[in-house]
Structure 1
Amino acid sequence: MAFTRATGKHRRPSRLTRRSANMAGVAALATTGVIGGLTSPALAADSDISADAAHAVQDTGLTQAIVIGDSLADQIAAQADQQKRAAVKAEAARKAEAERKAEAKRKAEAKAKAEAEARAKKEREERAAKERAAREAERKRLGGYTLPVAGSVVTTGYKTGGNLWSSGSHSGVDFRAASGSSVVAVGAGTVVEAGWGGAYGNNIVIRMNDGTYTQYGHLSSLGVSVGQSVASGQQIGLSGSTGNSTGPHLHFEARTSPEYGSDMDPVAYLRAHGVNV
């Protein structure tokens, strides 16, 4: 069985014409048992079989075929387009997630860098503060003054009279000190004399950094030598009773020069430098 159209009519039949032709072709195929086994409800109910397929259904003695119509092709195309859009959407989501992770990584790295820089800055500041404190402590140590014998007191005052001194009076002060007590420089300076000093016994004279001089007499031993620089509080010897002495103590003088006779009040001198005497 064949379907024909008028000679010269090459225009595609209308949808209604295609539907009629399709239905007729399906009926014809059904009489031959070709589509008796088709089970698809969509094809059985409303399948747009093309007009060309309708013309192709002829009594040729061969198995007759059905060409899928426009409706199913449209469905397939729509499904393909939907899948394509889904793939594009999935790719966009993947890229967005990758960008989100990259941005999170950049932020984490920037945060870690900022924290490391903050720690380094804090460490630099703490180190600088410690260095300043150390310099200040050293400055105070070098520039500060202290008692020549820690915790001692004056037992014989300045200008005390008596025949114990050739000049008739005491040219310094005596600090109480048991034999072998540590004697320190009252301030920073340079040793200009270290050795036997006659009536002073073993003695040390230091030129202080402010240009004045201090003397330490009756020592049992000396711990420094001429030309040596000393710091405030540095041990220079041990107390004793050498020279013109009636017992262990430290004879301390403050002078304007290294020579005998240039003495000044040692207590006033120490107090002027902040020492509590």
Structure 2
Amino acid sequence: MAFTRPTGKHRRPSRLTRKSANMAGVAALATTGVIGGLASPALAAGSDTSADAAHSVADTGLTQALVIGDSLADQIAAQAESQRQAAVKAEAARKAEAERKAEAEREARAAAEARAKKVREERAAKERAARAAERKRLNSYTLPVAGSVVTTGYNAGGSLWSSGSHSGVDFRAPSGSSVVSVGRGTVVEAGWGGAYGNNIVIRMNDGTYTQYGHLSSIGVSVGQAVTTGQQIGLSGSTGNSTGPHLHFEARTTPDYGSDMDPTAYLRAHGVSI
């Protein structure tokens, strides 16, 4: 009985056709840069040393596998490692730059804070100095008539005084000269004082008293607080007086008879006289 080979699309390709296809596939792989060997060395080389072996591969329908050579695999691995290292370096550089910027910002903040602290400290120092100067000024003493000199000293004797001696000192002061408080205190008397004419008595902050007599006018009132150098009246010649001047006393109480040396008193409070 005779057998015939099927025709048409069911016809198995000839060995020549399969070989040509395999060679074309290998050429295509080589063109794309993928170089390797076929699963079967004989097929990879394009040889057909055994018709049965070729027929067996074709009959089984197995796909021929390509294996990348060691050299290409090493190149790919090296390229991947190079890329990984480049990524690591880039990330390290990014982190280093971020840290540099953060450090610069920290330094800038620290410098700004240091400047602000210095400004605050300088301001505080100036304020302390100003307060100290003000306290010194307020607690300091001065002459009752600026630039004046004593014309009649303390305890000078004579018939001009009912007690027989001068209970204070007289400062030269033309009528209308400004009379100031020699220090800080509170006015305890302001008005007519008999022989003293218009007079003012001030209780000083240290507990002593000062008295200002023969004034032409009075500029303060009882209970009023006064500071060093504050004008309290104008000089004159009221009361028992031989002419314009300021009679000044330092006392231990507000009353007549408790007097002490006014010159020594002022010098003890730092006044040059």
TM-score range relative to shorter protein: 0.7 to 0.9
Structure-2 separation of matches of 1:143 and 1:49: 110
Tell me the CA shift for residue 242 of structure 1: 2.5
Superposed CA RMSD in Å reads: 3.4
Aligned to 1:271: 267
Aligned to 2:86: 90
3-state SS of paired residue (1:97): helix
Selected match of 1:54 from 45, 58, 61: 45
Please give the per-residue CA displacement for 1:79-114, whole angstroms capped at 9, x wherever unaligned: 322321222112111111111112112212221232
Residues 78 and 213 of structure 1: CA distance in aligned 2, closer, same or farther (over 3 Å): same
Code of the aligned partner of 1:110: R
Q: How does 1:77-226 map to 2 (within 5 A)?
A: 77-226=73-222
Tell me the CA shift for residue 215 of structure 1: 0.5
Residues 48 and 160 of structure 1: CA distance in aligned 2, closer, same or farther (over 3 Å): closer
Q: Tell me if structure 1 keeps the 8 A contact 2:187–2:202.
A: yes
Code of the aligned partner of 2:128: R
Q: How does 1:17-56 map to 2 (within 5 A)?
A: 50=38, 51=41, 52-55=43-46
Aligned to 1:243: 239
Q: Does 1:255 pair with 2:251?
A: yes
Please give the per-residue CA displacement for 1:53-89, whole angstroms capped at 9, x wherever unaligned: 335779xxxxxxxx9986x744443332232122211
Residues 56 and 216 of structure 1: CA distance in aligned 2, closer, same or farther (over 3 Å): farther
Q: How does 1:5-16 map to 2 (within 5 A)?
A: none
Q: Tell me if structure 2 keeps the 8 A contact 1:192–1:205.
A: yes
Structure-2 separation of matches of 1:191 and 1:105: 68
Q: Tell me if structure 2 keeps the 8 A contact 1:48–1:68.
A: no
Structure-1 separation of matches of 2:218 and 2:186: 15
Residues 250 and 95 of structure 1: CA distance in aligned 2, closer, same or farther (over 3 Å): same
Tell me the CA shift for residue 251 of structure 1: 1.0
Q: TM-score, normalised by structure 1?
A: 0.72
Q: Tell me if structure 2 keeps the 8 A contact 1:255–1:263.
A: yes
- Percent identical pairs in the alignment equals 69
Structure-1 separation of matches of 2:222 and 2:132: 28
Structure-1 separation of matches of 2:217 and 2:243: 15
Q: TM-score, normalised by structure 2?
A: 0.73
Structure-1 separation of matches of 2:168 and 2:47: 142
Runs of at least 5 residues in structure 2 that lack an aligned partner in the other structure: 1-18, 52-63
